[in-house]
Structure 1
Amino acid sequence: MMSILTETYTLNNGINIPQVGFGTWQIPNGDVAYRAVSEALAAGYRHIDTALVYGNEKSVGRAIANSGIPRSELFVTTKLPAQTKDRVGVVDAFNRSLDNLDMPYVDLYLIHAPWPWSMPGVRYDKQNLVAWDMMQRFYDDHQARAIGVSNFDDHDLANIIDHGDLKPAVDQIQYYIGATEPINAGFAQNNDVLVEAYSPLATGGLLDNADLRPFADKYGVSIAQLALRFVLQNGVLPLPKATSAAHIQANTQLDFEISADDMAKLNAMPDFSPDGAHNKTQR
């Protein structure tokens, strides 16, 4: 197993989280998700990220159950749907996830977004605190070993930090070379909240980028490997998604070091995303 997959960050509640996770966004339920997660576990991943709205929790849970790996050696994340912010809805969604995954607990439970997907940027401060209060109960009951948020900007994160009884352990945001959300990521890191990077390859948008090729060639790695190592060296946890065994394996080969000079150049890169489409709170 590559050492990067056994190295961990320590969350602000003291538990360890593997430094690289396997993302399952856009991987369809059924054989595709089952095979992808099975391949990831065989390749050494011990951190799997899913969500109720991905619709693939059952396949993720089945792959984990059939892997033969003790549950205690795995870190599993799932998420509360973005539009669900009332007490009854939060409990129902959490129980559905546990049932889908066929697990008595998850390692990390996240509010998927601070607003419904159709209303990015609209403030739901009071409603998020209602959801957070219920999630704290899951934490207190040991049904979630840590709780956190996703797609939260500095305002939304401050709302939880200032008014919740428990500080979020994680803020999972879109983050890749050219789009590092310096305001939001910086606020999280300054408040001891781990930043997780979804779409660390810009949903594939970085993979054929000519500006990144010289950097990858310099280190003898692929652009994907360069992009993931970049995330790690910024103290952020990448969640690469892949479905082919070759790509899943390649994404684990991250035991190299990008120089400080090259990191500075990469951190200054413009956004290469093909459409540049982000929610308005990404900054």
Structure 2
Amino acid sequence: MATSSARFIVHGAAAASKPAPYPPGSHPRASISLPSAANASSIWGSKSIKLQRIATFSPAIKASAAPVIAMAGDTPSRGISGKCFVVRDNIDTDQIIPAEYLTLVPSKPDEYEKLGSYAMAGLPPHYGQFMEPGKSKTKYSIIIAGSNFGCGSSREHAPVALGASGIQVVVAESYARIFFRNSVATGEMYPVECEARICDEFHNGDDVTVDMERDVVVNHSTGKEYALKPLGDAAPVIEAGGIFAYARQTGMIPSAA
């Protein structure tokens, strides 16, 4: 874990040179408390630890929008279940959130919610309706995608818009590097890679579970499951609410007063 910690410090220092999409301590989603850096490596592999996200934003934004990583019964303790929305290759950031909406400020709860209402507004019509008219939250929890998801500009608004819309995880064949990094840095959603090209086998509205305990994605509509690539050291950063929250919680940088 020492190697990964050093890498995150470098990322955090680089990110500090430009404004974050929201001020430190005002992440509009939710955050959790993590153990010390020495114990961080045990978090992801433990089946017994249940982590609770604590809402730190306006009650107008529902805490249920945050990823569900602790569930009871037969559901995996590190699993996200819901209906999926399916896209294919080379979905760029202008399709995820068109440039005309980048004036919205995610640190303001009403504008964060509005940003989510415009998520995927640039998609071609043949993909279907991601957001119902007049809604600010999508009925989908999971996006299934092909290769090079999040290509194009480096706008951090792209993963923020998806998180604000209610998307908890994207399962793609591959990601544009900067989009993947922005997803981890903002803590808005999980960018998970799949070993197989599942976007050709899933359909909009399929009931899906992304099991990050066993590293599989299950399509309950077909009964099939597919192997995922582990998120590894990126997982605790996302669970913490982003790179700055993770750095504070593990003592890499001083906690906000």
- Tell whether the structures are fold-level matches, with TM greater than 0.5: no
From the CA coordinates, give the structure whose radius of gyration is larger.
1
- Greater RCO, CA 8 A, separation 6+: 2
TM-score, structure 2 length as denominator?
Answer: 0.29
Which has more helix, going by share of residues?
A: 1
TM-score by length of structure 1 reads 0.27
